[in-house]
Amino acid sequence: MTTRERIVEAAVALTTESGWSAVTMGAIAERVGVSRQTVYNEVGSKQGLAETMILHELDRFLGVVTLAFDDHPTDLVASIRAASEGVLELALDNKLLHAVVSATHGADTELLPLLTTHAESLLAAAKVVVAERLTPYDVGLDARHLDAAIDMVVRVVLSHVMQPSASPADTADDIAWIAQRVLRS
């Protein structure tokens, strides 16, 4: 495991244990066994650390998406359903996500915009992975409409990650039903 990965893991652990306001470069350095300067060299500022943590978690979620598409190479709707359910299942037990979403005071709310109002990089990364995974399928949509469909699915899944309204299986069924309707037209 690289120093950067150890730093990110320490930051995630501190955030989930004590909240984002308790995360300092000194606390991370102590936990990892490196100097504060090493932490700064690896992740830059505390904002850079926050973005790195979120992107690290995003990679885990996108890994689930990739596996779902690999498991259903000939059925696009089944891929979308499996990817949606997998992401929503992972979100249920994600301690960092829960720490970010449930933060309600002071500095602890600094992470929330990275998942909501300032989620451009998160959305862009997710859309790229989904678009790449759609390449083998003949979806019959022009580029503009395909991009709109991908954007819709990614945003709906993210919305349910942030605020679930049903079980992951039921939500995935609904998302797959919508995707099937769009792909048929």
Q: What is the pLDDT of residues 146-176, one digit of tens each?
A: 999 999 999 999 889 888 999 999 999 999 9
Give the per-residue pLDDT at 103: 56
Q: Name the pTM for this structure.
A: 0.81
Cα–Cα distance, 124 to 35 (Å, whole number): 34
Number of domains in the chain: 2
Q: Is residue 59 domain-shared with residue 81, that is, in the same domain?
A: yes
Q: Is residue 134 domain-shared with residue 158, that is, in the same domain?
A: yes
* Residue 11, token pair as written in the block: 């930051």
Binning pLDDT at 50, 70 and 90, where does residue 51 land? confident
Q: Is residue 103 domain-shared with residue 26, that is, in the same domain?
A: no
Q: How long, in residues, is the chain?
A: 185
- Residue 49 in any domain: the answer is no
Binning pLDDT at 50, 70 and 90, where does residue 107 land? very low
Supply the range of the domain harboring residue 85: 54-184
Please give the average per-residue pLDDT across 27-56, as a whole number: 91
